Amino acid sequence: MDYVWKPTQEVIEQANVTRLMRKLGYVVAANKPEKVAEEARSFVRRTQKNTEWFWQEALADLGIEWTKPYSKVLDKSKGNAWADWFVGGETNIALNCVDRWVRASDSVSRASEKHGVAPKGPKHEARSTTHDSTALISETEDGHVRQFTFAQLNENVCRVANALKECGIRRGDTVACYMPMVAEVVFAMLATQKIGAIFIPIFSGYAPPAVRERLEDAQVKVLFTADGSMRRGQPFSIKEAADQAVAGLACVERVIVYERLRVSGAGYQVSGKAKTDTRNPIPDTPLPPCPMTPKRDLFWSDIVGKQKPVCATESMPALAPALMIYTSGTTGKPKGTVHTHAGCLAQMSKELGYNFDVKTGDVFWWFSDIGWMMGPWEIIGCFAHGVTLVVFEGAPNFPNPDRVWDMVERHKVTHLGISPTAVRMLIRSGNEWADKHAMPTLRVLGSTGEPWDPESYMWYFEHVGKKRCPVINISGGTDIVGCFLAPLPIMPIKAASLQSPGLGMDIDVFDEDGKPVIDEVGYLVCKQPAPSMTRSLWKNDAKFLETYWSKFPEIWNHGDWAKIDKEGDWFLFGRADDTLKIAGRRVGPGEIEAALIAHEAVSEAAAIGVPDELKGQDVVCFVVLHKTRGYKESEELRKQLIQQVVNALGKVDRPKNVLFVDDLPKTRSAKILRRLIQKRFLGETNLGDLSSVANPDALEAVAKAR
């Protein structure tokens, strides 16, 4: 397979990872790209084998600040599952993401020294980000845009932190957020972490039972929510769902309600510069009063608005919990993955710094809800580097299919991240929506969430990136709040690949017997601990060991199918627990789906397993057609698609049937829900919690397709 993107001499010379490699004695000759690729692969391998050395050097290079220096990088005396990182060290996410940038102002600096913590540890290089630099751009679906400098970010974070203190929140307490992706989510997360409490993001589309399950499990004391949000031009209530979730739940003492819909059409006007785009205003229909429970509920403007804009930042042990993200509940009881101040800072700042090559002045936007790992990831990663973050409340194709591309141009976005499924959805609208936007500021594209098919990947590369931007296709998970696999921008990239292991991530591909394999699909594993790996599961050590550490002794089994090709490039093939076993042979649904999408008629595809007396399991595929290209459902096309799979994978993987649907059920973060498709197709009635499904009507279409 040929490389579709190769770095220029300028890209290599200016890359952050080039700076790091040269500091560590590597010769990076920017005018010799092939030699650079060899050196980079050698560097990646060294970081895998010598993880303590790498993390020590990387954190110093990235300028992570400590209130108390650590005495030892890593202690594995209790085994890999219980590794201790940055022993004896203390820091705080807010110290590194907010405080460090406002110290550029003398007046703010004096207040910080008086009321907060003073950093210690290795000095980092001077940066040009200051308190006046733009930290955050927030756009709502109806077009309201607000911008915040780092000084204004600090003021708002401090006000929210003081509000939490007034509500009785202390170090180690749990605080949840059930809100749309607006600026106040960012303030709430950083404020919670600033005072040493644990932040729990909850997807704003979840139904009350799913929210309640998480609140009760974590014993949440304060819940941030909103009166409502916008969905495709219509306001809807979030507060009513929150009320149902907390009804009778003794642990929830306070509910803080952000006025998203009911004040000035855009919510409480916190510090920040606002500019309204009136193309998509909130409808003039009067909204009913927001339901409020006395003594429990408080409006954001009432409690946050009265607070002082100065608050101490707690000095927290390196492995003190800062963030807890629940895994999806669609396959059983959701599990709380627990992440620390130092672990988040180390992994997230590393990935944005070296893989995404962010620099002062960049504008970074990953299309994500706060409930998906990428929400906290981009907030911490961006602010650790002092770069501008964009957050967005709405859908990628409303009011027009070019909403994302239009926003990239208006906000001068340099880094754009989006899932493959969202890209495939946007492709269906036609090339012209992306082609009419030059997006000249774009420098790097990102993607994660699921495997790519080559056709959609190339569309993203050509029509969005205009063939000039590398696609930094990353893969990790909620359980490590970061990446096992992540390309470096100084190395060439193959279509749909993930190029190489993340720096400091000792990953491999094992067969069923635990032996490494090359050019074969196997289990993605990690042979040494990483600082961002979940600190067990909330209140469930046994499940933690069973889920990640039981298949191969002292080895983290991530649950993904992966392959390293003969040139050393990495590819993913979906979740191992989604694997189909046909006539004794394992095949990932992603392989079958990629074969289908390779046909120019197919926009999206999902492959599921169904019982078969002869083979044990057979394959049924669902496809969404490119109807804008003139394709229609027909028996002839069905036969072509079946043959397409046979040609790509062989007769044993021949689908039993290919069924046409108008849409596939997905989460709000655009992940295809194969297991729900399978259950609905097989006629099961207990589908579990469906609140994470963005388009439930698609499930009924699956049932009718039988």
Report the residue count for the chain.
706
Per the structure block, which two tokens stand in for 148?
């915040």
Contact partners, residue 131, CB within 8 Å, separation at least 6:
101, 102, 103, 104, 105, 108, 149, 150, 151, 154
Greatest CA separation found in the chain? 76
Nearest to 338 by CA among 96, 544, 76, 77: 544
Nearest to 356 by CA among 319, 398, 384, 335: 384
Torsion of CA 227, 229, 234, 235, to 10 degrees: 10
What's residue 584's pLDDT?
61
Using pLDDT thresholds of 50, 70 and 90, give the confidence band for residue 263.
low
Tokens 């190769």 -> residue:
6
Q: Give the three-state DSSP class for 544.
A: helix
Q: Give the three-state DSSP class for 110.
A: helix
Nearest to 177 by CA among 116, 124, 233, 242: 242
Residue 439 falls inside a structural domain: no
Phi, psi for residue 27 in degrees, rounded to 5: -95, 110
DSSP annotation of 18 reads H
Whether the per-residue pLDDT at 394 is higher than 60: the answer is yes
Domain extent, residue 596, equals: 579-704
Tokens 């006007």 -> residue:
269
In the predicted model, what is the mean pLDDT of residues 672-689?
84
Helices (H) and strands (E) in the chain, counts: 23, 34
SS (H, E, C) 476-505: EECCCCEEEECCCCCCCEECCCCCCECCCC
In the predicted model, what is the mean pLDDT of residues 267-273?
42
Element (H, E) at 432: helix 432-435
In the predicted model, what is the mean pLDDT of residues 214-234?
95
What's residue 613's pLDDT?
73
Strands 273-276 and 556-564: unpaired
Using pLDDT thresholds of 50, 70 and 90, give the confidence band for residue 112.
very low
Per the structure block, which two tokens stand in for 414?
């340099």
CATH number at residue 602: 3.30.300.30
Q: Give the three-state DSSP class for 6.
A: coil
Torsion of CA 262, 264, 268, 272, to 10 degrees: 150
What's residue 271's pLDDT?
43
Q: Would you give the distance in Å from CA 600 to the centre of its chain?
A: 30
**CB 228, CB 241: distance < 8 Å:** no
**pLDDT by residue (tens digit) across 271-326?**
455 444 433 445 556 788 899 999 999 999 999 999 999 999 999 999 999 999 99
Nearest to 367 by CA among 96, 671, 645, 592: 671
d(CA 228, CA 238): 4
**pLDDT by residue (tens digit) across 25-74?**
999 999 999 999 999 999 999 999 999 999 999 999 999 999 999 999 99
Residue 253 falls inside a structural domain: no
What's residue 338's pLDDT?
98
Residue 615 falls inside a structural domain: yes
Per the structure block, which two tokens stand in for 596?
């289908």
d(CA 64, CA 55): 11
Element (H, E) at 594: helix 589-597
Residue 47 falls inside a structural domain: no
Percent of the chain with pLDDT over 90: 73
Residue 683 falls inside a structural domain: yes
Residue 334 falls inside a structural domain: no
In the predicted model, what is the mean pLDDT of residues 13-31?
96
d(CA 621, CA 606): 6
What's residue 121's pLDDT?
43
Contact partners, residue 113, CB within 8 Å, separation at least 6:
none
Using pLDDT thresholds of 50, 70 and 90, give the confidence band for residue 372.
confident
Higher pLDDT, 532 or 675: 532
d(CA 261, CA 282): 8
Using pLDDT thresholds of 50, 70 and 90, give the confidence band for residue 700.
confident
**pLDDT by residue (tens digit) across 433-477?**
999 999 999 999 999 977 888 899 999 999 999 999 999 999 999
Cα torsion 535, 541, 545, 546: sign: negative
Average pLDDT, the chain: 90
Euclidean distance between the first and final Cα of the chain, in Å?
A: 38
Nearest to 225 by CA among 159, 152, 292: 292
d(CA 470, CA 465): 8
What's residue 123's pLDDT?
42
Residue 506 falls inside a structural domain: no
Residue 327 falls inside a structural domain: no
Element (H, E) at 425: helix 420-427
Whether the per-residue pLDDT at 116 is higher than 70: the answer is no
SS (H, E, C) 168-227: CCCCCCEEEEECCCCHHHHHHHHHHHHCCCEEEECCCCCCHHHHHHHHHHHCCCEEEEEC
Residue type, 128: S
Higher pLDDT, 628 or 17: 17
- The region that residue 656 occupies, defined by phi over 0 for left and psi between -120 and 50 for alpha, beta otherwise, is alpha
Q: What are the helix (H) ranges across 16-120?
A: 16-23, 33-49, 51-62, 93-94, 100-102, 106-115
Whether the per-residue pLDDT at 114 is higher than 50: the answer is no
**CB 499, CB 493: distance < 8 Å:** yes
**pLDDT by residue (tens digit) across 573-608?**
877 777 777 766 667 788 788 889 989 999 999 999
Nearest to 601 by CA among 554, 638, 558, 561: 638
Using pLDDT thresholds of 50, 70 and 90, give the confidence band for residue 669.
low
d(CA 13, CA 36): 10
Poorest-pLDDT segment among 377-381, 535-539, 675-679: 675-679
Check: pTM over 0.95? Answer yes or no.
Answer: no
d(CA 504, CA 484): 9
d(CA 290, CA 284): 17
d(CA 704, CA 706): 5
Percent of the chain with pLDDT over 70: 91
**pLDDT by residue (tens digit) across 525-569?**
999 999 999 999 999 999 999 999 999 999 999 988 899 999 999
Query: Cα Rg for the chain, rounded, in angstroms?
Result: 24
Number of domains making up the chain: 1
Residue 682: CB atoms within 10 A of its CB come to 14
Nearest to 20 by CA among 603, 410, 490, 458: 490
What's residue 583's pLDDT?
64
Q: Give the three-state DSSP class for 512.
A: coil
What's residue 328's pLDDT?
64
